[in-house]
């Protein structure tokens, strides 16, 4: 019986999906699932939902819910983190303060001032949690779903002995979009992606030996398809490869789009159905939503949270469908030995030669009873590595700032951000960062 600890289980939808993914495997239905959250009301809701799924299907799963993190971690074989330190109130500060300075972030959870400060809030909690894991479950696999993915995983690898892998759905979600764009079933295409989280490059995209890239590149001239993924088709045109994550996300990681009202409108304008990896469909793509579109989505969901959860729990028949998330596949492969391949975020120990040693890279990984086994990629095409490095620069300085309590390193991290540096001078960046430090002081004990 494997023990699986979910920290931050009050992130209900994510916790529900992970739980049903795990229970979709017959071999994992005798697991012990420990749900942990500091919000008792949310915790009780996900516990009720979990018990209903288990009872209705007659599974042997043991389910516990606790607000005590150490209790949840004790003897855990797998620890899955889905926390959000500071919640939506801190997230709002990440978006609104930079926006007052002209830094227009659509999501703001991965890079830029929003991503840096989200990392600064998360890392102290992770280091504290790692100390508990080193005592209570030292042989556990820590599965991180929390953004900023690369920054958080880098800090864990740098400061702790806990084996860590970061998981995201951007590679498989984008691959599904690409298959749709060229009119092929997702299940029949093959692909290999590598780079960094939210900027991984599809180095191969084919079906039965046919290179599908020429057909994908033709879609640049198909306005209906182009409008669904403006940023990524522009990157494909100018840098030759398709990139993971949504177009609004990618627009934050480079200096070419968000400092222009025209480009922002093109990226956010909705025509037809959005691709599966996009944000914002719940509220539309009006120009008012350009800054903080994902924050607005989260706020809207939070308004109806309790009602929606009660409706979900009251559903008469809850289907056990497996999502594209990698978490359950890792646990299943490590428990049974049945191999699988994921795209995981791991330490760059010679995996991508032209990215810095020790940074967090996203590469294909074989998973079986031996654990996570990353693929040696060699060198990325030079233009792709160059784009990645502009983001890695920010990540490295942010991690150093977080681990050493250095405000100067944090200021320098934001100064290196491609979007921020395209719209602000150095003095304004320093002033903006100072305002963020003051506003978020309660979440930043290391400073």
Return the pLDDT at 263.
83
Whether 378 contacts 353, CB under 8 Å: yes
* Residue listed under structure tokens 């182009």: 226
> CATH: 3.30.565.10, 3.40.50.720, 3.40.50.1820, 3.90.800.10. Which one for 3-166?
3.40.50.720
Q: How far apart are CA 211 and CA 5, in angstroms?
A: 42
Q: Where are the domains of the chain?
A: 3-166, 382-443
Return the pLDDT at 15.
82
Our CA angle for 102, 105, 109, nearest 5°, is: 140
Return the pLDDT at 295.
83
Q: Pairing between strand 78-81 and 62-66?
A: unpaired
Q: Catalytic one among 169, 249, 268, 332?
A: 169
Mean pLDDT by runs of 10 across the 447 residues of the chain is 93 81 95 95 90 91 96 97 93 95 93 97 97 97 97 97 95 94 96 97 96 96 91 96 91 90 77 39 42 79 76 72 91 96 97 98 97 97 98 98 97 98 97 98 94
* Residue listed under structure tokens 């740098």: 158
Q: Is 221 a catalytic residue?
A: no
* Residue listed under structure tokens 């991965």: 110
Q: How far apart are CA 112 and CA 436, in angstroms?
A: 12
Return the pLDDT at 386.
98
Q: Pairing between strand 62-66 and 32-36?
A: parallel
């Amino acid at each position: 019986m494997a023990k699986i600890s979910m920290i931050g289980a009050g992130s209900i939808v994510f916790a529900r999906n992970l739980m049903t993914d795990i229970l979709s495997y017959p071999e994992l239905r005798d697991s012990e699932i420990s749900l942990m959250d500091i919000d008792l009301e949310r915790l009780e809701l996900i516990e009720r939902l979990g018990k209903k799924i288990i009872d209705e299907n007659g599974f042997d799963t043991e389910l516990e819910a606790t607000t005590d993190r150490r209790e949840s971690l004790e003897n855990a074989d797998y620890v899955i983190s889905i926390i959000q330190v500071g919640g939506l109130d801190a997230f709002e500060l990440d978006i609104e303060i930079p926006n007052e300075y002209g830094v227009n972030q659509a999501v703001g959870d991965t890079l830029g001032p929003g991503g840096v400060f989200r990392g600064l809030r998360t890392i102290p909690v992770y280091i504290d949690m790692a100390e508990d894991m080193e005592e209570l479950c030292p042989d556990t696999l820590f599965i991180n779903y929390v953004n900023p993915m690369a920054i958080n995983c880098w800090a864990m690898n740098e400061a702790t002995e806990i084996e860590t892998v970061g998981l995201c759905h951007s590679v498989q979600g984008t691959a599904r979009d690409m298959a749709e764009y060229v009119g092929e079933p997702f299940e029949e295409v093959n692909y290999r992606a590598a780079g960094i989280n939210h900027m991984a490059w599809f180095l191969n995209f084919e079906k039965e030996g046919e290179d599908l890239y020429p057909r994908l590149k033709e879609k640049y001239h198909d306005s209906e398809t182009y409008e669904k993924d403006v940023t990524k088709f522009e990157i494909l045109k100018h840098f030759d490869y398709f990139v993971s994550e949504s177009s609004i996300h990618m627009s934050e990681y480079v200096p070419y789009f968000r400092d222009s009202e025209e480009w922002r409108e093109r990226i956010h304008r909705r025509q037809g159905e959005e691709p599966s990896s996009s944000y914002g469909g719940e509220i539309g793509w009006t120009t008012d939503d350009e800054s903080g579109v994902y924050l607005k989505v989260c706020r809207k969901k939070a308004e109806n949270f309790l009602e929606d959860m009660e409706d979900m729990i009251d559903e008469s028949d809850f289907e056990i469908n497996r999502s594209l998330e990698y978490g359950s596949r890792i646990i299943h492969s490590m428990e049974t030995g049945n191999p699988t391949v994921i795209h995981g975020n791991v330490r760059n120990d010679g995996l991508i030669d032209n990215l810095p040693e020790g940074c967090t890279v996203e590469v294909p990984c074989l998973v079986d009873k031996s654990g996570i086994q990353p693929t040696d990629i060699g060198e990325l095409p030079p233009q792709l590595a160059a784009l990645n490095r502009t983001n890695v620069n920010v990540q490295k300085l942010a991690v150093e700032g977080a681990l050493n309590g250095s405000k100067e390193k944090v200021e320098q991290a934001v100064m290196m951000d491609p979007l921020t540096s395209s719209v602000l001078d150095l003095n304004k960046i320093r002033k903006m960062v100072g305002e963020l430090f003051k506003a978020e002081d309660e979440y930043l004990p290391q400073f």
